[in-house]
Amino acid sequence: MRNIRLIISYDGTCYHGWQCQPDLITVQETLIRAVERIVNHKVKLYGGARTDSGVHAMAQVANFFTENKIETKNLLRGLNSLLPLDIRIRDVHEVDGSFHARYSAKSKTYVYTILNQPFDSPFYTRYVWHIPYPLDVSSMNRAARLIKGEHDFSAFKKKNEPYGSSIRCVLRSGVKKRGDFIYIFIEATGFLRYMVRNITGTLVLIGAGKLKEDAMAEILASRDRDMAGPTAPAKGLFLKEIYY
């Protein structure tokens, strides 16, 4: 039995997230249909991250098992010929049978993109949160560093979402500006649902001067979702990379 790993980029605008859901169009379901047409049997497709509705991916990872002997280069070409243009397979490799896209992952990096200028852009509006007023990026960056380490991130999860544990370990976090674009990046061993978007909403309040920098640590310690900022729109969030 062969274990095939896919590296996938997609625009999540038209999809109800990664994971299969009844009667809804998802990235996973769209990929499964394409894979099954080529290998000619049912497959289970395991994803490295469960991106939400409207969230994009630069390098999602997935794997499936097959006895079909198709060459990986032909599988890549065949999948891209069947998939819609907003989903592209970047790489196909045969890997060890023990590899699992989700459970083998060591950490993941998400990047959130803000367009910080007076007017929105018709070219970027599907991929950014447009904020027309100035943001203090240095203040946001210092605040973002306060979440590094292992913490209970209950204050930044989706409200009333149950978890066995809300403890996660953030390895890197920061904020950078390039021209009119602000990038918030977070690498962690795992994420709670809406965690990056809720952290982003809080950082924007700090950048706008509505919260002090040290409020980030206070909110984190509170474990209270009501103390944190608003949930940033899904369209600005990208799964950048999964590390194994």
Say how many C-beta atoms besides its own lie within 10 A of residue 41's C-beta: 11
Q: Which residues are catalytic?
A: 52
Instruction: For residues 134 and 3, give the distance between their C-alpha atoms in angstroms, rounded to a whole number.
Output: 49
Amino acid at 10: Y
Query: Of 178, 168, 165, 172, which Cα lies nearest the Cα of 146?
Result: 172
Q: Spell out the alpha helix ranges (H) of the chain.
A: 27-39, 72-82, 137-144, 195-207, 215-222
Strands 107-115 and 87-95, bridge-based pairing: unpaired
Where do the DSSP E strands lie in 141-219? 149-152, 167-178, 181-188
Task: Give 116's contacts (C-beta < 8 A, 6+ positions apart).
Answer: 131, 134, 135, 177, 180, 181, 182
Q: Which residue has the tokens 């909403």?
A: 201
The C-alpha angle 164, 166, 168, rounded to 5 degrees, equals 125
Instruction: For residues 189 and 28, give the distance between their C-alpha atoms in angstroms, rounded to a whole number.
Output: 22
Encoding tokens for residue 217? 């640590």
